[in-house]
Structures are given as structure tokens and as C-alpha cells.
Structure 1
């Protein structure tokens, strides 16, 4: 019973005092991490897209070169 009352008092104290400095720092770093993680994911998406464009371009150039060689041989 005493333990429950102490816990209630602790909860009330925490609720009235707001966030501690440590909790504020944790929230700040979590927010920064979330932003950095989002940026990293966006960069990865752009890199994958660019690589796919480059691969498509290489295939297109190979086909154009093959057609040019066929035309020169004829």
C-alpha cells in the first residue's frame, strides 16, 4: 500500500514538474535522428533512381552502337 502511494506521489510530481533536462535532450536527439534517417532514406531513393537511369542509358547506348556497327558493316 505504501509503495503504491509513493508511486502515485512520484507520478504526480513528474506530471507537475514537466520534462527533465535529460528527457528534453532525449527527445531532441530522437527528433534529429529521425530527420537524419529520413534524409538518408531520401538520398538512397535518389541514388537508386539515378543508377536505374544510368543502367537504362547504358543499354540504350549499347543498342545504338550495335545498330551503328550493323549499318557500317552493310
Structure 2
């Protein structure tokens, strides 16, 4: 479960809806190393701004791969 959780009485994490509100782009595996690096930087920024936990970052990033990036 990657939803918001309570740790030591505080909410931790973000919802998928919060991440989508930042309009993250999917990665299709095209464009080489420079395009991939820029995509990673943008995803990290979106996830940090949304307050995602580590587990959420992994799941939301993996869910952003499409097409050739999945092979």
C-alpha cells in the first residue's frame, strides 16, 4: 500500500492524485541518456514537491514507464 500512512502520529507520503496534479510525464525509453536524465530530475522534483515517501517514489516512477521503457 503506497497511500498516506501515519508514522509517529504524523501523515507521511502523498496520494497518486497529488502527484498527477503536478502533471508528471511518462518515459517511453526514447531520446538517449540526456532525455532520461532530464526525465529523472523532473520526476524527483514532482515527487519531492508532493511529499512522496521512498516506497511511493519507486511505485509512481515505475508506473510512469511506457512503451520501449518497459522492455
TM-score, reference length from structure 2 = 0.29
- Name the structure with the higher strand share: 2
| Greater C-alpha Rg | 1
Greater RCO, CA 8 A, separation 6+: 2
- Name the structure with the higher helix share: 1
